[in-house]
Amino acid sequence: DADVTQTPRNRITKTGKRIMLECSQTKGHDRMYWYRQDPGLGLRLIYYSFDVKDINKGEISDGYSVSRQAQAKFSLSLESAIPNQTALYFCATGRKSTGQGSLRETQYFGPGTRLLVL
C-alpha cells in the first residue's frame, strides 16, 4: 500500500467551482506539504503544516486554503477555481532527523492530482 495517497488522481472542473483535494498518509509524520508543479516552473509550495491545526502559508497560497484536522490528513481547497490553477498538485510528508548537529528533512511525495480548470 502507498504511504502517501491523494484523491482524486485526476479532476476536471469549471471556473468558479469549489473543489477539495485530499491527502492521507500512513507514515506517522507530523509535517505535511502541498505543492503545485507547472511545466518550466518546477515545484512551488502552497501551504505546509507541522502539526495538527498548525497551518503556514507557502510561496503561492493565494486562492487556496488547507485543513489539518488529523495527523494523517491534509486537505487542499480551491474556493473558486480559475484556469491558471490548472496544474499537477502534490502532497508530501516530512520526516525530520538530526545529523551533523543540523536538521535534515526527507520528504515523501504522493502520486499527484492532475487538475484541469475550464
| Closest CB to another protein among residues 27, 80 | 27
Strands 42-49 and 56-57: antiparallel
CA angle 9, 66, 71 (to 5 degrees): 85
CB of 93 to another protein, least distance (A): 11
Q: Which is nearer to another protein, 10 or 84 (CB)?
A: 10
Q: How far is the CB of 106 from another protein (least distance, A)?
A: 5
Least separation in angstroms between residue 63's CB and another protein is: 20
Name which of 61 and 109 has its Cβ closer to another protein: 109
Give, for 35, the enclosing helix (H) or strand (E): strand 31-38
Please report, as ranges, the residues that interact with another protein according to CB under 8 A. Answer: 4, 40-43, 45, 48, 50, 90, 92, 96, 99-100, 102-112
Q: Strand, helix or coil at 64? A: strand
Q: Nearest distance from residue 105's CB to another protein, in Å?
A: 5
Contacts (Cβ under 8 Å, ≥6 apart) of 44: 35, 36, 37, 38, 58, 59, 60
